[in-house]
Amino acid sequence: MMETIFRAAMNHIRAKEDLKRNTKAYLIASLNASPAATKSRSARSVRQRVVIAACTVFFVCAMSAATVAYYKTPASYLSLDINPSVELGVNGLGRIVSATAYNSDGTTILNGQNIMDADVKSAVHTLVKSAAQKGFVAQDGSTVISVTSETDDASTAIELENAAAQGAETAIQSERKTATISKDHVPLEKRDEAKKLALTPGKLSLIQKLQALDPSVTVSEYKDAKVKDIMKRINELKKLAKANSSAPEDDNTAIDEADGQDAPSSSGTAVDKNTQDTANETDDEDSPVSSGESGKDSVSDSSGDPEKVDSQPASSKNGITSSQTQSSSGSTETGSRSSSSSSAINNDSKLPQ
């Protein structure tokens, strides 16, 4: 029954003459046209596919290029000063993407070392080990290894410094030597200034601290000096200033000025913005409680009291000053955070072997 009705109904559905006529005209036109025109639809389809494929390839290439560019572009820097001065470019993923020697000694320790794509810790480990093997780290433990992060991001700075300090520490330990490791942080703008002077920002920072204590010091004078010599000179000047000072309050004030916090007239005047920034970050925000931050203090305040410094390295079994020890020394200080942090540096690097 349904079948019959359905058949009868469907028999009413027929192609109208208009439809046939239009289709016929279209087909004749299409078939009589050139082969290219008859195949226009398939050609269009092919063109669409080619365009889509091209777009896909372009997109993939663009993404790859962007990824490579992101990977290869340093987001922050780390300068390593012993006296070999080397600056490492670190990308956003924490990998080394560039290594620049700032002096011939730097070239020497970089020579033959493959640190590209390595993480900060292993790269610094490799370079410090190379420096130790090539005689840049003294046996008596007097060598000061300065690692300075160059970035505008505080957390990245701490990560870089800690990783670099750990790398340096393990390298020194593996070479059975002793050294003092100091950490510092400078903003990126400081890097430009240092680059103009052909110095690493870390060394420039130290020289500027020295200038804060002795305005007669020039950058060129200490440009090729070892970090330990600069530190030694800073400590001498601080001892001298302390001896000349009658009241302890004055001493503390002098240290504060040297750290660049207030820096009114005398020694503090010479402290540049960078030092001030560093001092502010480390002293104001992160008191000696945090190991990473206190380590930063120790570097930036390297012009601090030598006596306090001595205590820190001593706490390190291998003679390497660690940031943790600095915090404890800071807590014993007279009250000025800047002075406590400054103590971390000195230690005169007399570390037990």
Partner 1 sequence: MEKTSSGTNDVVTEALDKYSDMVRRICFMYLKNEADVEDIFQNVFLKLLQYQKPFENDTHEKAWLCRVTINECKDFHKSFFRKNTCSIDNLEIPIEDKSEEGVLREVLSLPQKYRNVIYLFYFEDYSVPEIATILGRNQNTIHTHLRRAKAILKNKLRGFDDGNYF
- Sheet containing 85-90: give its strands across: 96-101, 85-90, 76-81, 144-150, 180-186
Which range in 15-23, 143-151, 246-254, 293-301 contacts partner 1 by CB under 8 A? Answer: 15-23
Q: Is 146 helix (H, G, I), strand (E, B) or coil?
A: strand
Applying CB under 8 A, does 69 fall inside the site for partner 1?
no
Applying CB under 8 A, does 36 fall inside the site for partner 1?
no
At its nearest, how many Å lie between partner 1 and the CB of residue 45? Answer: 12
The region, left, alpha or beta by phi > 0 then psi within -120 to 50, assigned to residue 41 is alpha
Kindly state the tokens that stand for 81: 């000063």
Please name the residue ranges forming H helices in the chain: 2-11, 17-32, 35-38, 40-72, 104-110, 120-133, 154-174, 188-196, 201-213, 219-222, 227-244, 248-259, 273-279, 291-300, 306-315, 323-331, 337-346
| Cα 307 from Cα 324, distance rounded (Å) | 17
Applying CB under 8 A, does 59 fall inside the site for partner 1?
no
Kindly state the tokens that stand for 300: 């930036």
Which range in 34-42, 71-79, 82-90, 276-284 contacts partner 1 by CB under 8 A? Answer: 34-42
| Given 31, 36, 69, 243, the residue binding partner 1 (CB under 8 A) | 31
Kindly state the tokens that stand for 41: 């639809």
Instruction: Say if CB 259 and CB 342 are below 8 A apart.
Output: yes
Residue type at 318 in one-letter notation: N
Which range in 4-12, 79-87, 176-184, 201-209 contacts partner 1 by CB under 8 A? Answer: 4-12
21 vs 72, which CB is nearer to partner 1?
21
33 vs 63, which CB is nearer to partner 1?
33
Applying CB under 8 A, does 20 fall inside the site for partner 1?
yes
At its nearest, how many Å lie between partner 1 and the CB of residue 41? Answer: 8
Using alpha carbons only, what angle is made at residue 111 by residues 322 and 351, rounded to the nearest 5 degrees? 25
| Given 28, 51, 54, 68, the residue binding partner 1 (CB under 8 A) | 28
Radius of gyration of the chain (CA): 34
Applying CB under 8 A, does 6 fall inside the site for partner 1?
yes
At its nearest, how many Å lie between partner 1 and the CB of residue 9? Answer: 4
Applying CB under 8 A, does 22 fall inside the site for partner 1?
yes
Site size for partner 1 (CB under 8 A)? 27
Which range in 10-18, 132-140, 147-155, 301-309 contacts partner 1 by CB under 8 A? Answer: 10-18
Residues 89-128 that bind partner 1 (CB under 8 A): none
Applying CB under 8 A, does 216 fall inside the site for partner 1?
no
Applying CB under 8 A, does 32 fall inside the site for partner 1?
yes
Residue type at 32 in one-letter notation: N
At its nearest, how many Å lie between partner 1 and the CB of residue 55? Answer: 17
What is the DSSP secondary structure assignment for residue 273, as one 8-state letter? H
| Given 34, 36, 38, 169, the residue binding partner 1 (CB under 8 A) | 38
Q: How many CB atoms lie within 10 A of CB 95?
A: 18
The region, left, alpha or beta by phi > 0 then psi within -120 to 50, assigned to residue 178 is beta
The helix-helix angle for 154-174 and 291-300 (nearest 10°) equals 80
Applying CB under 8 A, does 1 fall inside the site for partner 1?
yes
47 vs 317, which CB is nearer to partner 1?
47
27 vs 93, which CB is nearer to partner 1?
27
Which range in 28-36, 103-111, 238-246, 297-305 contacts partner 1 by CB under 8 A? Answer: 28-36
At its nearest, how many Å lie between partner 1 and the CB of residue 47? Answer: 17
Count, residues in the chain: 353
Query: Which residues contact partner 1 (rule: CB under 8 A)?
Result: 1-3, 5-10, 12-15, 19-20, 22-24, 26-28, 30-32, 38-39, 41
